[in-house]
Structure formats: structure tokens, C-alpha cells
Amino acid sequence: MVTTPPEVATLPPNSYLNSEYGLKSWLLTQDHKRSALFYLFATTFFFVIGGVAASLIRLELLTPAGDLVASDTYNKLFSIQGIIMVFFFLVPVAPAVLGNFLIPLMIGARDVAFARLNLFSWYLFVTGGCLDLYMMLFGGVDTGWTFTTPLSTHYVNTNVVAAAMGSTIWKTAAFAPESAHVPYEPNTRNQSGKCDSYHPKIHP
Amino acid sequence: MSIIPFLGNMSLETIVSSTLSPHMLSAFAGFVLPPGSTSIFNPAGTPAHSIFSLSMLVLSITGGVFVVVGGLLLYALLRYRHRAKDPGSNEEPQQIYGSTQIELSWTVIPILIVVMLFLATARIIFATQDAPKPQNALDVTVVGHQFWWEYRYPKYGVVTANELHIPASDAQTHTPVYLSMISADTDHSFWVPRLAGKTDVIPNRVNTMWIDADAPGLYLGQCAQYCGLEHAKMLLRVYAQTPADFAAWVAHQQQPALEDPSVAEGRAVFEHNACISCHTVRGTVATGTFGPDLTHLASRDTIASGSVPLTRDNLHEFIANPASFKPGVLMPPMHLNDHDLDLVTDYLMTLK
């Protein structure tokens, strides 16, 4: 007579219950909540930069004369404000911070579908952000956040390439997988066994 | 054919005046805002009047939506707040799992509002674009440059810069001016808010618009598409004149440059320097087209695209260091000695 061992519930080898607290465990984490915190810190950092630029613009506009910053600096300020706020705050903040943290919990999944890809997205975000920080520190850009041609290609001599690369690396390479895995979760990663009608309606 | 079928041939003005009087609001705006303002609430041309009426229609509808939504929200917040004395205040409230009636109403009503706003806007756009062009309408070619405006009157052979002169309409005659707009470099946008909506000026493309002015006067505007370093000082000045004044202005602009023997020295300095490779002074060797036409420079009120009034001192400083008024101006400092600088300034000041 063949005896089969009874089935027991097993935890995945790595989860938030047994993860460590060192730097390495954070930087290589596959925990969606840790990824969400990474995004929270990074977007807050960029939000502050964008906010400083916005404050300088408003201070300059206190009087009609250009008495706080020169014309070229003013143009760079509103370009930096637009680029940082659009690409590094507004676009990622809701889906990457709240989406990463809350949606797996809301639908009862153990984690996001592609935890490594999720983390990789954040590293691309940081890479793009570093390029834009480099752009700001070494001369700025004065095209506005839309990089309108032919102004950006023929008529300015600022760091257009770095600025556009930084924004595009994050926008296309990272945001695409980041947003792609979230909608799959409600159907494919539901671990709770709850009836579907109890789930919050999610439209990422 | 009417674009809004269910509104028939009712004009927007009629619709608006049933809720708000645009004339009253217009008069109010005219009273509050200083003359020469750039407010769209102080319209002075046919397209601007249409835009103003449309704005009032949109504002009244969206205002109504705001009051209804805000009112309901406020009512619900106050009426259904948590009150300990209410029976069952600590229990879960009654759960409602959908109501077709309510969902239909909050879907259909907003769609109808949006469709109405869309059709009203489309009607204004098409009515303005398709307005029949009178046979004798004046054509002006507008060229946007970094960072100034060039105006050419092909019918009259007149070229000028930064100050557009047009004949004003009066009760008897409607004199729209048709603008063909091109760009010499990057995107710009022509916007004189009291006369018409904005129209982008785009390289390798001709955009058109028409403007008219109800009354003679100066109408101010501003390049409305960020075009580079000195975009902020790419100002627009439209001078609407009575037909007689306009005819006199054209006749004067058609003359070649005035020759004043007392400034012959200054003219010689001008013609022997790089000035002539960018500027035209008709009747002389100066035939450049990169910068503004200077044939009648001194007949203008301003220099540097409306940045500063035309005075001898300002012109003197501008020639010595153009970037002093407009950092980013494409004219380089001319590095003339003081003597030559004075002579050239005196010469240019005679180009009435």
C-alpha cells in the first residue's frame, strides 16, 4: 500500500514573513510593498525638486520685471518643473506607489505577477531620473516638457538629449511593464478564493 | 445647414441672452479693465465676440453643473453626517447594489451636456472659418521670426514689422483682414485676444485666419506658443485705423526711405557695416531680409518687437547692445565706436 504524504500549505520560499532587513534584501526585494516604498521615496524626492522649481517660477512672477532670475533661467525652470512633475511624479505616483502597495492586498494576491520585473522598473525609473538630474545640474534644458520640434532640434543648445533620454527611458521601458502586470492580477493571481463580486472594481 | 440641428437657426447670442446678457457683461468688463487690455472678456472684433458669447454659454452651463453637484455634495455631507442620537447610527447603513434609473440619469445627462457644448463650439469654429471672404478684403502675410513679427501687404508692396496696421470696421463697412501665416524658424502663435482666437504659426505650413476691429484703436497681443529664449518679449501690436488714416499710412509706407542730407554720414556708416546684410531700407543698398525692414523705422512707436518705446536713447542702446532689452535677440552687438553709433542712430531716427 502506497502512502501519500498529506498535503500541507507551504509558504513561498521568500515572502515578507521571512525576509531580512539588510540593504541587500531591500535592493533585491521581490516584495511589492517594498517596491512601492521605493517608488514613494523616489517620487517624493522628484516632487520636491519640481516643487522648488514651481516656487521659483511663482516668486519670479510676483513682479512683471525679471528681477529674480534671467530669461533663460526662467525658461529652464518651467521646463524642469514640467519634465520632473509629468514624467517623474504625476505619471508614476498613483499606479506605482498606490497600485503596487494596495492592489495585491485589495485583490487578495500574495504579490504582483512579475515581482522581479516590478523591481527592474524601479531601477529604470532611477536611471532615467539620474539622467534628468545630470541634465539639470549641467546646464538644464529650455524646451518645455513637450520637447516641441523644430525648437528642440534646431534652435536650442541645452541638454535636450539627456532630458529626453531620461524621460523616455523611464516612460517607455519601465512604465510599460509596470502598468502591464497590474491588470492581469485580478483574474490570474487571485489566491483568496473569495467570490469575484466581493472584489473592489479595479481599472488601472 | 445648421451644425446644431436641435437649436435650429437660433444664434448663440439669442441663446446666451436668455440666461445672461453678454452686452451687460461686456460693458462691465470694459469698465473694469484698462483700455488696451488683452482680456477676452472685452471683445472688439467679430471672432472675439463669438468666442465671448461661447465662453458665457460654457461658463453658465458649467457654473450650473458646479452649483448642482456642489450643492448635492454639501447637502449629503450635512444631512447624512454621523449623529449619535440617530437610531441605528452605529450600524452599517443600507447597502444599495445599483440602480438602473440613477445610473442612466448620471450617464445620459452629462453626455447630452457634453454633446451640446461640443456642437456649440464646433458651430463657432466653422462659422468663423467659413465666413465668406469679401472681394476687396485686405490680405496680409504674417511671418513669425525668433523673436519678432514681419507683416507684408502684397497688394500695396508694403513690408513692416511688429506693428500691424489694419482698417477698422464701422457700421456701414465690414473690413476683415485675412492673414496668411508662415514661420521663418520654429512654432509661434498669433494671439490678439480682443480681436480673435489664437492661430499657431508653424514652419512649412500656411495657416490662415481673419481679424476685424469694431473701432479704431490699439489692440495688444503676445506670441502664444513658446518659441525660445525671448518668447516673452515677442509682443503683438495691431493698430486699427479709420479707412482714411489707413490709406494715408499705406501711402506713406509705400514711399522709399526718406533722404535727409544732414545724416548722409550716418547713412554711409549704416551701408558700410553688416547692417545691410540683415535689414532692408528701400531705395538704398540695404536689402537684407533676415531682420525687420527699417525703411520707415521711425514711423513706429516701439522697437525690439514692442519691448520698449522708440526713442533715440533706446535705439542707441539697442544698436550698441541688442541683448540689453532682449537677451536672446539674434542681432549681434555691432561694436561701432561712439561716433559711428551716434551717426547711425541719428540716421535711423530720420527714417520716418
Query: What is d(CA A59, CA B263) in angstroms, rounded to the nearest whole number?
Result: 47
| Buried b or exposed e, range B55-77, using 16+ CB within 10 angstroms | bbbeeeeeeeeeeeeeeeeeeee
Interchain proximity B328–A70, CB inside 8 Å: no
| Orientation angle between helical segments A100-107 and A175-188, nearest 10 degrees | 10
For domain B5-82+95-129, which CATH number applies: 1.10.287.90, 2.40.160.40, 1.20.1300.10, 3.40.47.10? Answer: 1.10.287.90
Kindly state whether B200 is in contact with chain A, defined as any CB-CB distance less than 8 angstroms: no
Among A57-61, B82-86, B180-184, the minimum mean pLDDT is found in B82-86
Q: Which of B2, B262, B255, B257 is nearest to B119 (CA)?
A: B2
DSSP A20: -
- What is the pTM (predicted TM-score) of this model? 0.80
CATH label, B261-349, candidates 3.30.70.2660, 2.40.340.10, 3.40.350.10, 2.60.40.420: 2.60.40.420
CA distances from B213 to A43, B12, B102 (A): 50, 20, 49
Q: What is the pLDDT of residue A196?
A: 46
Segment B13-35 mean pLDDT? 46
B203 chain-A contacts, CB cut-off 8 A: 150
**Annotated domain spans of chain A:** 32-191
Intervals of CATH 1.10.287.90 along chain B: 5-82+95-129
- Please state the ipTM of this predicted complex: 0.76
SS3 A201: coil
Contact B199, B181 (CB under 8 A): yes
Interface of A with B (CB under 8 A): 70-72, 75, 142, 144, 148, 150-151, 154-156
Cell digits for B55? 465662453
pLDDT reported for residue A14: 63
pLDDT in tens for each of the 204 residues of chain A?
Answer: 566 666 666 666 666 666 677 888 888 888 888 888 999 999 999 999 999 999 999 999 998 888 899 888 999 999 999 999 988 898 888 888 888 888 888 877 777 777 888 888 888 888 888 888 888 888 888 888 888 888 888 888 788 888 888 877 776 666 655 554 554 444 444 444 444 444 444 444
Query: How far apart are the C-alpha atoms of A99 and B193, rounded to whole Å?
Result: 43
Which residues in chain B are contacts of A79 at CB distance < 8 A?
Answer: none
Range(s) of chain B covered by CATH 2.60.40.420: 138-242, 261-349
For B138-242, CATH number out of 2.60.120.10, 2.40.320.10, 1.20.120.160, 2.60.40.420 equals 2.60.40.420
Rg of the Cα atoms in chain A = 22
pLDDT value at residue B13: 44
Digit-coded pLDDT (tens) for B148-163: 999 999 999 999 999 9
pLDDT value, residue B184: 93
**CB spacing of A71 vs B146 below 8 angstroms:** no
With cell 463657432, the residue in question is B124
Q: Are A132 and A166 in contact (CB under 8 A)?
A: yes
Whether residues B229 and A72 touch (CB distance < 8 A) is answered with yes
- Strand B235-241 relative to strand B217-222: parallel, antiparallel, unpaired? antiparallel
Backbone angles phi, psi at A125, to 5 degrees: -55, -45
Inter-residue contact A30 to A14 (CB < 8 Å): yes
